[in-house]
Amino acid sequence: MAEIETVSSSFSMEEKVLSSRFIGVLLPLLGRSFEAAKEGIALLYPKATHYCYAFKKGNLEGSSDDGEPSHSAGLPLLAILRGSGLDEVALFVVRYFGGTKLGLPRLTHAYREMGKAVVMKAPRSIVKEGLEVLLEIPYPDFDRAMDRIRRLGIEAGKPSFSSSVALWVKGDDKIIGSFLSLFPSIEAKEEKKALIYLEKKQ
């Protein structure tokens, strides 16, 4: 897969406009369907008046005003996602109506500003395809190997100790290859493709 910019975990914010609560939530969609994310939002925020959203998942995208006036929420949220550079994400703005009507201009502004704020402040990740490798490490090399793994930013699982140390690691295939070239005594017993998340500095 090509390298994409997304989020690795959900991020939310809340603001009150007059007497209504607006809750913005940005969710990752990589590895799951939009429908599953939508069901999760409904469970997380039960009895909300409106669940407005937009999502981007590769070439698939969509939006909904969920009962609000036409084009007041869904399309503005989708425009925010299209301009954000993010993919494999869903942007929800959940509203609990407080009894005071905002009027169309203020309502659209409330949805747009909440969507912008969540997208701007959510921590981003770069996702790319890498490798997950099972290493067999001789005991004399273990401490030095772990130090190098940390320095290279390779993700390491929990080691298993027997006649040698078995350890799953995950990272960029070139970086893992470079690591293995430094330790000829370490054997790669098994490998498979895996997605790796790299935190992006904003």
Per-residue pLDDT tens over the stretch 148-182: 999 998 999 999 999 999 999 999 999 999 999 99
Round the average pLDDT of the chain to a whole number and report it.
Answer: 94
Query: What is the rounded average pLDDT of the residues 30-55?
Result: 95
pLDDT computed for residue 199 by the predictor: 72
| 41 close to 94: Cβ distance less than 8 angstroms | yes
- Which option is the CATH number for 4-122: 2.40.50.140, 3.40.50.300, 3.30.230.30, 3.30.565.10? 3.30.230.30
Burial annotation 109-135 (CB, 10 A radius, 16+ → b, else e): ebbbbbbbebbeebebbebeebbbbbb
Tell whether the model's pLDDT for residue 189 goes beyond 90.
Answer: yes
CATH topology of domain 128-200: Alpha-Beta Plaits (3.30.70)
pLDDT computed for residue 196 by the predictor: 83
Give per-residue pLDDT as tens, 94-111.
999 999 999 999 999 999
Domain extent listing, the chain: 4-122, 128-200
Query: What is the rounded average pLDDT of the residues 124-129?
Result: 90
Q: How far apart are CA 134 and CA 128, in angstroms?
A: 19
